[in-house]
Amino acid sequence: MATVSIENRGNIALVLVDNPPVNALSHSVREGLSNAMKACSNDDTIDAVVIACQGRTFIAGADIKEFATGPKAPHLPEVVQEIEDMQKPVVAAIHGTALGGGLEVALSCHYRVALESAKIGLPEVKLGILPGAGGTQRFPRIAGVENALDAILSGRHVKAKQALGWGALDELVADDLVEAAIAFAKGAISKGPRRTGAMEIDSSKYDQAFFDAFRKSIARRTRGYFAPEKCIQCIEAAVRLPLKEGLAFERAAIGECFVHPQSRALQHMFFAERQVSRIPGIGKETPRREIKKVGIIGAGTMGGGIAMNFANVGIPVTLLEIEQAALDKGLAVVRKNYERSAAKGKLSGDDVEKRMGLFNGTVSYDDLSDCDLIIEAVFETMDIKKKVFTSLDAVAKDGAILASNTSYLNIDEIAAVTKRPTDVLGLHFFSPANVMRLLEIVRADATAPDVLATCVDMAKAIGKVGVVAGVCPGFIGNRMLSPYGREASLCVIEGAKPEEVDAAMYGFGMAMGPLTVSDMAGLDIGYLNRKGMDRASYETKATDWYDRLVESGRKGLKVGAGVYDYDEGSRTPKPSAEVMAIIEEESARLGVERKPKTADEIIERCMLALINEGAKILGEGMAYRASDIDVVYVNGYGFPPYRGGPMHYADSLGLKNVYEKICSFADEFGPRWWEPAPLLKELAEAGQSFADYDKKQVG
Ligand code: 3H9
Distance in Å, CA 136 to ligand 1 centroid: 20
- Angstrom distance (rounded) from CA 305 to CA 661: 41
- Angstrom distance (rounded) from CA 576 to CA 562: 9
Q: What is the pLDDT of residue 697?
A: 84
**Which residues, 6+ apart, have CB-to-CB distance to 216 below 8 Å?**
none
Distance in Å, CA 101 to ligand 1 centroid: 11
- Angstrom distance (rounded) from CA 33 to CA 17: 8
3-state SS, one letter per residue, for 536-556? HHCCHHHHHHHHHHHHCCCCE
**Which residues, 6+ apart, have CB-to-CB distance to 210 below 8 Å?**
none
Catalytic residue among 82, 104, 250, 500: 104
Distance in Å, CA 274 to ligand 1 centroid: 10
- Angstrom distance (rounded) from CA 379 to CA 322: 12
Residue 256 among the catalytic residues: no
DSSP state of 192: -
Q: What is the pLDDT of residue 698?
A: 64
Helix axes 498-508, 514-521, angle to 10 degrees: 110
Distance in Å, CA 99 to ligand 1 centroid: 9
- The pTM of the full predicted model, rounded to 2 decimals, is 0.95
H/E stretch holding 63 reads none
Distance in Å, CA 147 to ligand 1 centroid: 23
Catalytic residue among 124, 273, 586, 604: 124
Q: Ligand 1: which residues within 6 Å by Cβ? A: 21-22, 24, 57, 60-65, 76, 97, 99-101, 104, 123-124, 127, 131-133, 135, 274
**Closest C-alpha to ligand 1, atom 22:** 274
Distance in Å, CA 270 to ligand 1 centroid: 8
**Which residues, 6+ apart, have CB-to-CB distance to 529 below 8 Å?**
none
Rg (CA), the chain: 28
Per-residue pLDDT tens over the stretch 32-75:
999 999 999 999 999 999 999 999 999 999 999 999 888 899 99
- Angstrom distance (rounded) from CA 592 to CA 595: 9
**Closest C-alpha to ligand 1, atom 44:** 22
- Angstrom distance (rounded) from CA 299 to CA 376: 10
Q: Among 3, 17, 19, 22, say which to mutate for ligand 1: greatest number of ligand atoms within 8 Å of CB.
A: 22
For the chain, the residue count is 699
Phi/psi of residue 92, nearest 5 degrees: -90, 135
**Closest C-alpha to ligand 1, atom 8:** 132
**Closest C-alpha to ligand 1, atom 19:** 61
**Closest C-alpha to ligand 1, atom 51:** 60
519 touches 573 (CB < 8 A): yes
Using DSSP's 3-state secondary structure scheme, residue 73 falls into coil
170 touches 194 (CB < 8 A): no
Count H helices and E strands in the chain, helices first.
29, 17
Q: Is the previous residue joined to 498 through a cis bond, with omega within 30 degrees of 0?
A: no
Residues of the chain where predicted confidence (pLDDT) is lower than 70: 698-699
**Closest C-alpha to ligand 1, atom 6:** 132
Neighbours of 10 (CB within 10 A): 10
Q: What is the pLDDT of residue 525?
A: 86
Distance in Å, CA 278 to ligand 1 centroid: 17
- Angstrom distance (rounded) from CA 423 to CA 409: 17
- Angstrom distance (rounded) from CA 94 to CA 588: 69
Q: What is the pLDDT of residue 410?
A: 96
Residue 124 among the catalytic residues: yes
**Closest C-alpha to ligand 1, atom 28:** 21
- Angstrom distance (rounded) from CA 263 to CA 255: 11
% of the chain surpassing 70 pLDDT: 100
Q: Among 25, 63, 64, say which to mutate for ligand 1: greatest number of ligand atoms within 8 Å of CB.
A: 64
Q: Is the previous residue joined to 449 through a cis bond, with omega within 30 degrees of 0?
A: no
Nearest atom of ligand 1 to the alpha carbon of 75: 8
Per-residue pLDDT tens over the stretch 220-279:
999 999 999 999 999 999 999 999 999 999 999 999 999 999 999 999 999 999 999 999
**Closest C-alpha to ligand 1, atom 9:** 63
The DSSP code sequence of 160-191 is: HHHHHHHTS-SEEESS-HHHHHHHHHHHHTTT
Distance in Å, CA 60 to ligand 1 centroid: 6
3-state SS, one letter per residue, for 477-488? HHHHHHHHHHHH
- Angstrom distance (rounded) from CA 501 to CA 514: 8
Distance in Å, CA 153 to ligand 1 centroid: 18
**Which residues, 6+ apart, have CB-to-CB distance to 528 below 8 Å?**
none
**Closest C-alpha to ligand 1, atom 5:** 131
